[in-house]
Amino acid sequence: MHADFSAFWKQSLRERLETGAARTPLRSPSGGTWLARWAGVCLVVGLTLYLAVGYDAGFIRINAAAAAYPDWVWQCLTVLGDERVPFALALLFALRYPRVFWALVLAALIAAAYSRGFKALFDTTRPPGVLAADAFNLIGPSHTRTSFPSGHSVTAAVFFGVLIYYTRWTGLRALFLALAVLAGLSRVAVGVHWPVDVAAGLFGGALSAWLGALLAARWPGPATNLWVHVTVVIMAVILAVTLLFDDAGYSAAATPLAVLGVLALGVAGVQYLLRPWIGYRRG
């Protein structure tokens, strides 16, 4: 019975991956335009801030304005840039939209090289490393090094950027764009990044999302490759498990993170185990 179910499981998932791939076009010209323009705006904003005022441009003003809102708002927004969150969210649609999932994987790899490469190259000091504790509002853990670019901003822009690329509805694209920008601004609000870091992070994330989608269109085969898909899904499941007990220092976001972890694991369990088992038993 075990061998029979294993064969049924593999065949079932392969069929669902093929069906899911057919739901998504390889390319989205309008999505690419959105991402290109978004990246361009971020680049202009970042360069303007840096060249006109300096690296710390706008930090005190934005941080002070953000302090008017409850801390939990910024904590919940900032965890959108936690690398575990996009992968947990991706479990909700990975099997139904495998091409989107594959583009997200490729974009994440490009973004990781961008973010970590520039962090190692510049190793700039964050606000807590140069400002007095009473000069700004710090929410959550303090960080002092590797400020440029904002990794959370890169991650949020990658995830929502890939969704912007493939989504057909303008309203949803605007919503995803707003969430990515708010996640980026939250890094200034919680006091661990300069606005220039955020602009650079959103620029790199949007560009990575665009390149990831283009690469996925030119190399679509792995999107429906069962073992490539399952390997990434297992990694996403492991990351989702950590959301149940690790809030990354943002205690107000602990419950939402745990709820997301449970939801992602539940959906993955149903999609990849329970549904094939029911189909096998009925067959």
pLDDT band for position 216 (cuts 50, 70, 90) = very high
Confidence at residue 283, expressed as pLDDT on a 0 to 100 scale: 74
The answer as to whether 151 is a domain residue is yes
- pLDDT tens per residue across span 74-108: 999 999 999 999 999 999 999 999 999 999 999 99
Residue range(s) defining the domain that contains residue 248: 24-282
- pLDDT tens per residue across span 37-57: 999 999 999 999 999 999 999
Mean pLDDT of the chain: 96
The answer as to whether 6 is a domain residue is no
Instruction: Give how far Cα 265 sits from Cα of 236, 259, 268, Å.
Output: 9, 10, 5
The answer as to whether 1 is a domain residue is no
Full-model pTM:
0.96
Asked if the model's pLDDT at residue 1 lies above 80, the reply is no
Handedness of CA 43, 49, 50, 52 (dihedral sign): positive
Count the domains in the chain.
1
